């Protein structure tokens, strides 16, 4: 028997066991990947379903508030259930008239929310964004909330017709959109 044949016969069981190990590892990896993908898809579906529920809730709130000029208890409970603790904080911001829709002659529009800390946050509903730390952490990073209290306050104030309106020049809007609140002279 040749040396190559002896080496082959000695390596064959080893290569078979390595192949088996590799196959098991691949199967485990595939199963883990499938589970992760299923979880991500489920989260995405649930997230989009929850977003649909939130949108419908805001439509119901708008209709009811325009008819009765108040928010019934069942809608308050639903707001709290869908949006969590930030629902109450957002309603407080709306009550304090902290939401302003800023628009310019060119048609650009942004929302500014005066937070409880006194800081002014420029929110964009079209791209669902707020520069606050809670949005970065709870919404983007941890995926725990649909939106922060500032974005929710914007949505609520629009639905309730309680958004302050302010016209600014195109130059001022440029500064607002760049993250600055006033043009430096």
Check if the beta carbon of residue 57 is closer than 8 Å to that of residue 90: no
| Burial state string for 98-109 with b = 16 or more CB within 10 A and e = fewer than 16 | bbbbbbbeeeee
pLDDT of residue 6: 54
Q: Is the pLDDT of residue 121 over 80?
A: yes
CA 66 – CA 172 distance, rounded (Å): 32
pLDDT of residue 134: 92
Strand 109-114: give its sheet, edge to edge: 120-123, 109-114, 99-103, 164-167
> What is the rounded average pLDDT of the residues 161-185?
83
Check if the beta carbon of residue 155 is closer than 8 Å to that of residue 123: no
pTM above 0.85, yes or no: no
Q: Is the pLDDT of residue 22 over 50?
A: no
CA 49 – CA 4 distance, rounded (Å): 63
pLDDT of residue 93: 97
Check if the beta carbon of residue 109 is closer than 8 Å to that of residue 168: no
Reported as a single tens digit per residue, the pLDDT across 44-65 is 434 567 788 889 999 999 999 9
Reported as a single tens digit per residue, the pLDDT across 147-160 is 999 999 999 999 99
> What is the rounded average pLDDT of the residues 77-100?
95
CA 137 – CA 176 distance, rounded (Å): 23
Check if the beta carbon of residue 71 is closer than 8 Å to that of residue 64: yes
pLDDT of residue 165: 97
CA 131 – CA 89 distance, rounded (Å): 17
Domain residue ranges in the chain: 39-177
């Amino acid at each position: 028997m040749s040396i190559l044949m002896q080496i082959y016969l000695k390596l064959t069981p080893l290569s078979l066991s390595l192949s088996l190990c590799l196959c098991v590892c691949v199967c485990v990896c595939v199963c883990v990947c499938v589970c992760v993908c299923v979880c991500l898809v489920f989260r995405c579906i649930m997230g989009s379903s929850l977003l649909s529920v939130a949108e419908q809730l805001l439509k119901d709130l708008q209709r009811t508030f325009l008819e009765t000029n108040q928010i019934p208890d069942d809608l308050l409970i639903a707001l709290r259930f869908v949006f969590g603790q930030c629902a109450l904080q957002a309603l407080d911001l709306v009550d304090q008239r902290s939401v302003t829709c800023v628009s310019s002659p060119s048609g650009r529009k942004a929302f500014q929310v005066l937070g409880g800390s006194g800081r002014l946050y420029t929110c964009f509903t079209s791209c669902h964004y707020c520069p606050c730390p809670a949005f970065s952490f709870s919404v983007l990073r941890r995926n725990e909330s649909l939106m922060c209290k500032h974005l929710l306050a914007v949505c609520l104030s629009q639905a309730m017709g309680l958004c302050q309106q302010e016209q600014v020049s195109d130059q001022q809007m440029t500064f607002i959109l760049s993250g600055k609140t006033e043009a430096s002279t």
